[in-house]
Amino acid sequence: MDSRNHVEIKEELKKAAALASVKYIRDGMTLGLGTGSTAYYLIQEVGAMVRAGRALQAAVTSEATEKLAVSLGIPIIRPETGIKVDLAIDGVDEIDDSFCAVKGGGGALLREKVVARRAEQVIWIMDESKLVKRLGTFPFPAEVLPFGSAWAAEAVKELGGTAVCRQRDGRPFVTDNGNWILDISFSENIDFLAAAKAVRGIPGVLETGLFDKFCDRIIVGTKEGVRERRNPFKTSGNSEMHGAKAE
């Protein structure tokens, strides 16, 4: 009988997925490092690679990730003209069979999307609990300007959803960009994808946590082992990864 509790098992699956992703890292790469509990294991491993002499540098998606990366000796770059990201690796909050995902539970969705959009390749790492049949089981985040955030929430209501301003210590949660987060829910009878895309058009909404077919590959830690899937819906010329092993 397995004496580990649910949380311990989940963390082991996250770590397994993160460690499986490092085989795609090559010397000389500029990496996009994600934010969150799964990305934490990846960043630890990248730090070990740098200390072992691997030539790597990284663009980071949050101040928390930057602090961790710097503590591990990972060189940090800033998003400037002419700089590209070779490979971005990050976690997700949930992802469906069509490779549409929701991210941003940690509040870093805007920077995560900026880095992922600039990346030649994108890998998402996760434990198996993140695989869902329908998006919307996890609150859908939107980064909004504090000014007019209440009006943005009202506009979400007009779309058939509910929006709650994320709190921390009794005050609005403030992102690294100085903005707020609305956590949005839609009922099952509403077309989630259409509604989520409509949220992006609300004045004051800077970005949402909908990542529609962004990744080239997912790596999933399961109780039966690590599974990988290439994204068949992404048609960009850079979607094929050297040395990839697909299901």
* Residues annotated catalytic, as ranges: 112
Is 106 annotated in a binding site? The answer is: yes
Is 93 annotated in a binding site? The answer is: yes
Is 92 annotated in a binding site? The answer is: yes
Residue type, 98: S
Is 22 annotated in a binding site? The answer is: no
Is 91 annotated in a binding site? The answer is: yes
Is 132 annotated in a binding site? The answer is: no
β-strand pairing of 161-165 with 30-33? unpaired
Is 236 annotated in a binding site? The answer is: no
Is 133 annotated in a binding site? The answer is: no
Say if residue 51 is exposed, middle or buried (CB neighbours under 10 Å; 0-12, 13-18, 19+). Answer: exposed
Token pair recorded at residue 21: 């992703």
Is 67 annotated in a binding site? The answer is: no
Is 204 annotated in a binding site? The answer is: no
Residue ranges of the annotated binding site for substrate are 35-38, 90-93, 103-106, 130
Residue ranges of the annotated binding site are 35-38, 90-93, 103-106, 130
